[in-house]
Amino acid sequence: MSGAGPGMASSDGKKTFRIGMLGFGTVGAGVAQIVLHSQPSLKDKTGIDIRLHKIAVRDRKKRRAVSIDPGLFTADGEEVVNDPEVDIVVEVIGGIEPARGLLLKALANGKAVVTANKALLACHGRELFEAALAHETSIGFEASVCGGIPVIGALRDGLVANRIETIHGILNGTTNYILTRMVEDKAPYAQCLYEAQSKGYAEADPSTDVKGLDAAHKLTLLSNLAFHSVFDISEVHAEGIDRIALEDVRYAADLGYAVKLLAIAKRRNPGADPEDFPGGLELRVHPTLIPFSHPLANVRDVFNAALIRGDATGEVMLYGRGAGMMPTGSAIVADIMDAARGSARQTFTKLQFFQNPREDLPVIPPEKMRSRYYVRFNVDDRPGVMGKVATVLGSHGVSIASVIQKEPHETGHVPIVMLSHVTIEERFQAARAEIEELPFVRKPSAFYRVED
């Protein structure tokens, strides 16, 4: 089935496509609003008529943000995926179950699937992709990463001629908002989190966002596309921002760096160092210092961005609103149109993005990651401290690039802030642990990785 051009129906002559939806929260309401309000223009552009046919919800009597014919609602998700009149199933329930089971049934019934569920795809992507291929249908998931920013399409189509070298992404708007407020308002983490929650940018339980898990899910999906294989969420080293200290945000700024929660996928060639890992892929999410001149340093508030480097294009940056009712709804409707035109199925059956072997690109274990480091030690204000700290670092092969010593705290302890040259994670952590045991050092220290 080949894709149809503008003003044309799908290649098999079908002009009307009926949508079955699983869930109808904020994003589902956005999809419905776009479909209902844009239906005439979509039909004019494509020759295809998209219609809402059936919507599964928990509570059929609940008031909705969009006015919908109540006859479309059902409390039974099975009724949606088994309905022979439904052509495309849109899943916006979230979570793993019942979404996984319902989508497997939809695929078994030959229906195209569109989902915004990054957690489901990061944890069960292989199973779902294989089911789509086996039943000669497709899964569209543009909305699962960065909302309305077409980063999935860029990796799948626009950058297909490139060997992707690196991805650096600000993929979570909640954490980016909190870090922006910490910098601009000079307010501590807890206060900025409370503000994010009061504005609806953070959930009552924000742990998935602030501990880096949401960004790790999204990085898994981007890496599947960029590196032509299937990675598991368990292979991503994830740290969050929930322990970040305002003083480190300020000290980083003094050094010319912004602090961002970055999702990083990075090819690494074999190193000359015998202790180094013999090459592979780093997959990591963590608070990161980046220079103010870095393209991602000025991505503020709830905005997302992905900086992708290919061997032919060099660096390409995609930027915009990464979540919300209408941006995410827009991405879902784009996937619906791809499925209706047949291009989504063509991508799945011809390009085979998720089927390549992993032998040539193992995931590098966390202890073998390479980075520069920012580290802060609180020490007693007495002579010889700097020399002893430097000696321990040197004994582990960690060299110092720069040092600043701040004014003593009211407690009398002096913060020493250092930036290292590039080193292996296990060396740095061994040195840090030994320094923390020195009698003049007050625990705990703080450290962040640096991406220049």
pLDDT (tens digit per residue) in 268-279: 888 766 677 778
Between 27-31, 239-243, 411-415, the lowest mean confidence (pLDDT) is in 411-415
- Please tell me the distance from the alpha carbon of residue 340 to that of residue 50, in angstroms, as a whole number: 8
Provide the CB-side half-sphere exposure for 409 (13 A, CA): 11
Listed in sequence order, the residues at least 6 apart from 314 whose beta carbon sits closer than 8 Å to its beta carbon are none
Q: Per-residue pLDDT tens for 404-440?
A: 887 776 666 889 999 999 999 999 999 999 999 999 9
- Quick one: CATH architecture of 370-450? 2-Layer Sandwich (3.30)
For 141-174, how does the pLDDT look when each residue is reduced to its tens digit (9 = 90+)? 999 998 889 999 899 888 989 999 999 999 999 9
pLDDT above 60 for 288: yes
Tokens of 64: 């909705």
Dihedral sign, Cα of residue 129, residue 132, residue 136, residue 140 = negative
What pLDDT does residue 354 have?
A: 63
Split at pLDDT 50, 70, 90, the class of 78 is very high
Q: Over range 109-133, report the average pLDDT.
A: 93
Which one-letter DSSP state was computed for residue 109?
A: T
Rounded (5°) CA angle 224-230-234: 100
Question: Does residue 392 have a pLDDT over 50?
Answer: yes
The answer to whether 211 and 242 are in contact (CB under 8 A) is: yes
Pairing of the two strands 16-22 and 88-91: parallel
**C-alpha torsion sign, points 26, 28, 32, 34:** positive
Name which of 135-139, 166-170, 282-286, 409-413 the model is least confident about: 409-413
pLDDT band at 28 (very low <50, low <70, confident <90, very high): very high
pLDDT for position 24: 93
pLDDT at 195 over 70: yes
Beta strands in 49-132 (DSSP E): 49-56, 73-74, 88-91, 112-115
| 22 token code pair | 């699983």
262 pLDDT higher than 60: yes
Cα separation, 339 vs 3, in Å, equals: 9
Are 153 and 159 in contact by the 8 Å Cβ rule? The answer is: no
Radius of gyration of the chain (CA): 24
- The CATH 3.30.360.10 domain(s) of the chain lie at 152-321
16-148+327-351 under CATH 3.40.30.10, yes or no: no
* pLDDT for res 119: 92
Predicted pLDDT at 351: 62
Q: What is the pLDDT of residue 3?
A: 39
Confidence at residue 363, expressed as pLDDT on a 0 to 100 scale: 93
Q: Stretch 84-97: mean pLDDT, rounded?
A: 96
Residue type, 3: G
Say what the pLDDT of residue 4 is.
Answer: 41
Q: How confident is the model at residue 61 (pLDDT cuts 50, 70, 90)?
A: confident
Burial category of 168 from C-beta neighbours within 10 Å (exposed 0-12, middle 13-18, buried 19 and up): buried
pLDDT the model gives residue 346: 82
Q: What is the pLDDT of residue 361?
A: 84
Percent of the residues in the chain that have a pLDDT greater than 70, as a whole number: 93
395 alpha carbon, distance to own chain's centre: 37
Residues of each domain in the chain carrying CATH 3.40.50.720: 16-148+327-351
Does 83 score more than 80 pLDDT? yes
Return phi, psi of residue 430, to 5°: -65, -40
CATH code of domain 152-321: 3.30.360.10
Continuous segment of H or E residues that includes residue 392: helix 385-395
Q: Which helix (H) or strand (E) holds 326?
A: helix 325-341
Cβ atoms of 289 and 262 within 8 Å: the answer is: no
CA 117, CA 114: separation in Å to the nearest integer?
9
- Please provide the distance, in angstroms rounded to a whole number, between the alpha carbons at the two ends of the chain: 46
Q: How far apart are CA 423 and CA 372, in angstroms?
A: 6
User: How confident is residue 352, by pLDDT bands cut at 50, 70 and 90?
Assistant: low
Helices (H), 112-242: 118-134, 151-153, 173-185, 189-198, 207-210, 213-226
How much is the pLDDT for 322? 81
Query: Residues spanned by CATH 3.30.70.260 within the chain?
Result: 370-450
Question: In what side-by-side order are the strands of the sheet with 49-56?
Answer: 73-74, 49-56, 16-22, 88-91, 112-115, 139-140
- Residue numbers annotated as active site: 218
Amino acid at site 264: I
Contact of 268 with 251, CB cutoff 8 Å: no
pLDDT value at residue 41: 82
Percent of the chain with pLDDT over 90: 69
Give me the pLDDT at residue 200, please. Answer: 87
Among the listed residues 91, 215, 222, the one whose alpha carbon sits nearest the alpha carbon of residue 154: 222
Q: Are 322 and 404 in contact (CB under 8 A)?
A: no
Q: Supply the mean pLDDT for the chain.
A: 90
